[in-house]
Amino acid sequence: MHKFIAFPLLFFLAAASAVSVAHAVELRICRQAGISYLPLLVIEEQKLLEKNAAAEGIKDFTVTWTELSGGAAVNEALLSGSVDLISGGVPPFLRLWDKTQGQVKIVAVLSGLPVVLTTARADIKSIADFAGKDKIAVPSLKVSLQSLLLQIAVAKLYGTENYDKLDDLTVQMKHADAYIALTSGRSEITAHFASEPFATRELRAGLHAVLNSHDLLGPTVSQVLSGNQKFYEKHPEIFRLVNRTVNEASRWIQANKKQAAELYLKVERSKEPLDLILAILENPQSSFLAEPEGAADYADFMYAIKAIKTKPGTWKDLYFQFPGQ
């Protein structure tokens, strides 16, 4: 008698445990350093994903954060299955979207901050003034957002068939090293295609802008958060939650710029002056609510120069769709 009762009881407890484990979700997010990824810093610091998950009745939900640098490294992290979401620039994302035949898509837009090509040389007024002796620092050759923006500008000036005309002048260098090289005046580096906060630092140091991505393309998305189709099919509610939470964090940044600047300095342990970070957030060209359609502009150009094999039909082909949002 006792054995008969015990067996169903043990079975019930095991089944209940299995259900609990089956519904537990760990979301592993890989972010990169820099003010372009500020919405993710806000989400992590304020634990917004955990709060919103609890409010929506999503139980057994945890978030794990890691940090890597460079499009190639974060792309590999997603492909290897070691993370579920990655942050990065639009060009590296598009290469991954193309490589996986659309199995990797954008979950949320993170930012649209201007990228500025600066120089200390008074005789360089536009990219047409660069010559064989010049060296333009970019974070990575060929594949970075900066490299692609330079190619787009060159294509507009010299024709698409000559898009790589200045590629031989580019050298790979970290933003911090390029800043030191240019402002010290003791380097062969002629110009630096700088992301924030280095662009503003360099302009404040007396360098001038040769090219601004905002002037080149208008307001457009620059950094995104992306994930793969397999995770979405298993947990569409999680990607939907992430999308809403990123938008919430972006709205908070827009409404609380001083607090957002202070949060950035604290979390990144940055020694930048508060007024510099605040100036970036108050720049009319800076947006953390960038329009998503801009990603297609990059895709069209990359397809034209054969950097990707597939051209999206519309910008929506690049994004996970969340009905009702």
Tens digit of each residue's pLDDT, the chain (325 residues) = 333 333 344 333 344 333 333 467 899 999 988 899 999 999 999 999 999 999 999 989 999 999 987 777 888 899 999 999 999 999 999 999 999 999 999 999 999 999 999 999 999 999 999 998 999 999 988 888 999 999 999 999 999 999 999 999 999 999 999 999 999 888 899 999 999 999 999 999 999 999 999 999 988 899 999 999 999 999 999 999 999 999 999 999 999 999 999 999 999 999 999 999 999 999 999 999 888 888 999 999 999 999 999 999 999 999 998 865 5
Which residues, including other chains, have CB under 8 Å from residue 222's CB and lie 6 or more apart? Answer: 36, 89, 90, 111, 112, 113, 115, 145, 213, 290
Number of domains in the chain: 2
Contact of 118 with 205, CB cutoff 8 Å: no
- What are 297's strand-pairing partners? none
d(CA 188, CA 177): 12
Classify residue 79: in a domain, yes or no: yes
| Shared domain check, 198 and 158 | yes
Classify residue 11: in a domain, yes or no: no
d(CA 249, CA 123): 42
| Shared domain check, 125 and 207 | yes
Structural domain span for residue 194: 116-217
Q: Which of 157, 190, 217 is the last residue of a domain?
A: 217
| Shared domain check, 313 and 237 | yes
| Shared domain check, 138 and 205 | yes
Classify residue 324: in a domain, yes or no: no
Q: Which phi and psi angles does 239 have, rounded to 5°?
A: -65, -35
Contact of 197 with 35, CB cutoff 8 Å: yes
Q: How many CB atoms lie within 10 A of CB 293?
A: 14
Q: Which of 152, 187, 217 is the last residue of a domain?
A: 217
Q: Which of 217, 235, 266 is the last residue of a domain?
A: 217
| Shared domain check, 133 and 212 | yes
Q: Which of 255, 252, 279 is nearest to 42 (CA)?
A: 252
